[in-house]
Amino acid sequence: MPRKPELTEPDSSATTAGGKDRSARKKSKEPSAAESAAAKAGGKGRPTPSRKEAVAANKRPLGGYGQKKGPAAQALTKEQRREQRLKQRERFDYAMRTGDDRYLPARDKGPVRRWTRDYIDSRRSLGEYLVWLAIGSLLSLMVLVRVAPILASLLMLGMYILVFAFISDAIFRGRRLKKALVAKFGLDKLPPGSVWYGVNRSFQMRRSRMPNPQVQRGEYPEGGEPARMRRAAKKV
C-alpha cells in the first residue's frame, strides 16, 4: 500500500511573519491622515467631471448680470433693495439739480468740469438754437417745395450756411474755452476731453442740460470774464 504523506504542522513563526508582512503592506497602501488632507487640499481627491459639467462650471454671465452676489447683497430683502435703488435715484436727481459733486457721475465730477459748465452756461451760443432752427427749416422746406421751389432752393442754401456757422462757432468756442482752462488750471491739470465736454454742452438747449445750469447768463465764473479772456487772448 502506498504510504500517506505525513501531515506536518505549519510553522507558527513563518505564519506570524507572513501575516505581519501582509498587514504591513496593507497599512502601507492605506493613506495616512496627513496624506489624505494634502490630497484634498492640493490633489484631485474626486472623480473626473464630464465635459458637460466642466463647460457648465466655466460659464460666466455677460455684463455682470446674473452673477452671484456677496453675503451682504444676499442678506437684503426685496423691499430693502428697492429702497436702496430709490435712494440712489434721489441722490442722482439731487446732484443733477444742484450740481452736488458728491453724487455726480464720474464724467461730471471735479472743479474743472464745474468751471467748464459755468463758463458755457453764462454765455449764449449759436449751438443751443440748433434744434429749433433745424425743425423750422425742415417744416418750411416741406411747404415751399410745392408752393415756391425757388424759395425752397434759397432756404436750402441758407441751411448750408447755418451748418457752416454752427461748425465755426464750435471751433471758435472750443479754442477760447481751452485758453481759459489753461489760464485757470494749467495744461497738466486738465482731464482728457475737457474742451469737448464744454463744446458738447454748448450745443444742448439750456433747459435740457444735465447737470442743470447753476449760473444765470452774464454770471461769469472766476477767471472767465470777457475782459480777462481778451487779455489772456492777447498774451497768447
In a domain, 34, yes or no: no
pLDDT, position 171: 93
Last residue of one domain, picked from the residues 109, 133, 165: 109
In a domain, 103, yes or no: yes
pLDDT, position 63: 45
126 plus 214 within the same structural domain: yes
In a domain, 51, yes or no: no
Q: Give the range of the structural domain holding residue 89, as residue numbers without chain letter.
A: 76-109
99 plus 156 within the same structural domain: no
121 plus 223 within the same structural domain: yes
88 plus 142 within the same structural domain: no
Residue 211, amino acid: P
Last residue of one domain, picked from the residues 109, 127, 153: 109
- For cell 459639467, what's the residue? 53
Length of the chain: 236
pLDDT, position 65: 45
In a domain, 32, yes or no: no
Block means of pLDDT (10 residues each) for the chain, 236 residues, are: 50 48 50 52 65 74 50 69 89 90 89 93 89 90 87 90 91 91 88 91 91 89 71 57
| Helix (H/G/I), strand (E/B), else coil: 109 | coil
For residues 123-157, one letter each, b for 16 or more C-beta atoms within 10 angstroms of the residue's C-beta and e for the rest, the string is bebbbbebeeeeeeeeeebeebeeeeeeebeebee
Question: How many domains, the chain?
Answer: 2
pLDDT, position 175: 92
95 plus 204 within the same structural domain: no
97 plus 185 within the same structural domain: no
In a domain, 152, yes or no: yes
100 plus 158 within the same structural domain: no
102 plus 134 within the same structural domain: no
94 plus 180 within the same structural domain: no
Q: Percentage of the chain surpassing pLDDT 90? A: 25
In a domain, 30, yes or no: no
95 plus 148 within the same structural domain: no
Whole-Å CA distances, 95 to 2, 106, 113, 211, 215: 116, 12, 14, 7, 15
198 plus 169 within the same structural domain: yes
125 plus 105 within the same structural domain: no
CA–CA distance, 84 with 90 (Å, rounded to integer): 10
In a domain, 39, yes or no: no
pLDDT, position 195: 92
In a domain, 5, yes or no: no
Encode pLDDT of 141-153 as tens digits: 888 888 888 888 8
| Helix (H/G/I), strand (E/B), else coil: 212 | coil
Last residue of one domain, picked from the residues 109, 132, 160: 109
pLDDT, position 15: 47
